[in-house]
Amino acid sequence: MDFGLTDEQQQLKEEVRRFADNEVRPNAREYDVEEKFPHEIVDAAAEMGLCGATIPMEYGGAGYNAVDSVLIAEELFAADPGIALSILATSFGTEAIVDYGTDEQKERFLEPVARGEAISGAAISEPDTGSDVSSVSTRAKKDGDEWVINGNKMWITNGTVGDFFVVFCKTNPEVEGRYNGFSQIVVESDRDGFESEKITGKMGIRASDTAELILDDVRVPEENLIGAADAGFLQQMNFFDATRTGVAAQGVGIAKGAAERALEYAQEREQFGRPIGDFQAIQHKLAEMYTNTEAARNLTLKSAWEVDEGGAPNTTLASMAKEYASRVAVEVANEALQIHGGAGYVNDFDVERLYRDAKITQIYEGTTEIQKMIIARELQGKGF
């Protein structure tokens, strides 16, 4: 196995880091405090091809592979997770269209996202449904050549700024089997009966837009169905396999950003007449932070590498990467704040924000507990 990056990947990593240093980091506190979506920064990122980065080139995307996307996420999240998520999630949900959509759907939905002219979203969770995806209550009924959709979706990224959403819903409640009868349907946000309400007061990733969606007799044409009817659950599980490696990369980025800031502070902050980085207690913290971050990075890159080599995510490895990298993000951010002491408890320093942002990586795209269940089931050959 080759552990080195290609020249193109190294250049990509450096270009994204420069963008993050120039556009993201200087504005991070403002967007966090005001809980506002960074439209101007997202537009600038779109010009660089960072929005819809994995959308195939034939539909206007950059066509980056899984390893490339991990490198992009790490650099952006090291700068600021809230703005980073706003950039990378502009194409959230389009994975289903890439994998299962018709040519017409790909042209209609992927191309505007790739150009930075549209924002997508994935509407899965509901007020009473999180980890148990098979318990969604949103229903879609066929009426002539239209689908009529009713239900509520909760914690939806891009909820008030998105132009369309891939909605996971029940289309055949009569079919037997816990995982049967689900479909994914594209719903445009300008449809009658579609409403969204922004969720504020989040602990972290405040620049990223999160909302509740209300679908009240929303009608969409039958051609908005993605793939075959009632095949949505397997589509959704494949979606999670892919996005969990992405969340692992987010965790690596947060850990990297927190560790770098802690090292810088330890070299500048003096106590007892010398930099605190001279003290063994701080040195041990830094050593563990960087070691664990590197371990998380390699596990995440291996998960992405398997996608590029094999053409599909490795379910076990994706969950391992997500569980471990998210745990490292939380632990490293905690230690980084500890190194900053009282100064890290206020937002004069970035570690306060990274500390708050890190926790979400253990929750969305499947909680830590769910990842451990998946890993154990896969090891025993039981699947979902």
Q: Is the pLDDT of residue 247 over 80?
A: yes
pLDDT tens readout for residues 96-144: 999 999 999 999 999 999 999 999 999 999 999 888 888 999 999 999 9
Q: What is the pLDDT of residues 164-211, one digit of tens each?
A: 999 999 999 888 888 899 999 999 999 999 999 999 999 999 999 999
d(CA 107, CA 97): 10
Q: What is the pLDDT of residue 133?
A: 87
- Residue 309 annotated among the catalytic residues of the structure: no
Q: Is the pLDDT of residue 11 over 80?
A: yes
Is the predicted pLDDT of residue 369 greater than 90, yes or no? Answer: yes
d(CA 357, CA 31): 13
Find out whether 71 and 247 touch, Cβ atoms under 8 Å.
no
Q: Which of 300, 311, 314, 304 has the alpha carbon at shortest distance from 375?
A: 314
Write the CA distances from 167 to 150, 215, 293, 298, integer angstroms.
11, 10, 35, 33
User: Does the pLDDT value for residue 250 go beyond 70?
Assistant: yes
Decide if pLDDT at 72 tops 90: yes
- In whole angstroms, what is the distance from residue 331 CA to residue 383 CA? 30
Residue in the block written with tokens 């899984």? 66
pLDDT of residue 163 exceeding 80, the answer is yes
Smallest CA-to-CA distance from 247 within 88, 46, 98, 16 is with 88
- Report the alpha-carbon distance of residue 245 to residue 311 in Å, rounded: 14
The single residue of 95, 365, 369, 378 carrying the catalytic annotation is 365
Q: pLDDT-based confidence at 239, cuts 50/70/90?
A: confident
Average pLDDT, the chain: 96
Cβ neighbours for 314, distance < 8 A, ≥ 6 positions apart: 241, 303, 306, 307
Q: What is the pLDDT of residues 276-320, one digit of tens each?
A: 999 999 999 999 999 999 999 999 999 999 999 988 889 999 999
For the chain, percent of residues with pLDDT exceeding 70: 99
Question: What pLDDT score does 384 carry?
Answer: 59
pLDDT(238) > 90? no
Model pLDDT, residue 1: 61
The pTM assigned to this predicted structure is 0.96
Q: pLDDT category, 340, cuts 50, 70, 90?
A: very high
Whether the Cβ atoms of residue 279 and residue 285 lie closer than 8 Å to each other: no
pLDDT at 132: 86
pLDDT at res. 259: 98
Contacts of 90 (CB under 8 A, 6+ apart): 42, 46, 51, 52, 113, 116, 119, 120, 158
